[in-house]
Amino acid sequence: MTDLKIIKQTENKLFNRKEIIANIEADVTPSNVEVEKLVTEKLSAKPEAVKIKQILGSFGSHTFKVIANVYDTKDDKERIEPKIKQKKGARQ
């Protein structure tokens, strides 16, 4: 994985976050953890305040489009992002 190139960055003051659209060059689809690390390094943000929304790739291409939200604080992220429900009887 090389570098994260930010295409568009929008400041959303209502939700106290930056909305990011970026490109990543890689041979295989990067994981959420890898993308989160690149976003935190590029924007000097805390990892717990970053939410990766999507990692999109097109067939045969080594360029992946990333959509992410970077919040001011972890509390803002927890308050705004939807909670993930676990299925009944699912093991943890």
Q: Phi and psi dihedrals of 42, rounded to 5?
A: -70, -40
Which pLDDT band, with edges at 50, 70 and 90, does 85 fall under?
confident
Nearest CA among 28, 51, 38 for reference residue 5: 38
**How much is the pTM?**
0.81
* Predicted pLDDT at 7: 93
Task: Write down the mean pLDDT value for the chain.
Answer: 86
Which residues are within 8 A (CB) of 81 and not within 5 positions of it... i.e. 6 or more apart? 51, 69
Q: Between these two residues, 24 and 87, which has the higher pLDDT value?
A: 24
Is a pLDDT exceeding 90 seen at residue 21?
yes
4-77: which CATH architecture? 2-Layer Sandwich (3.30)
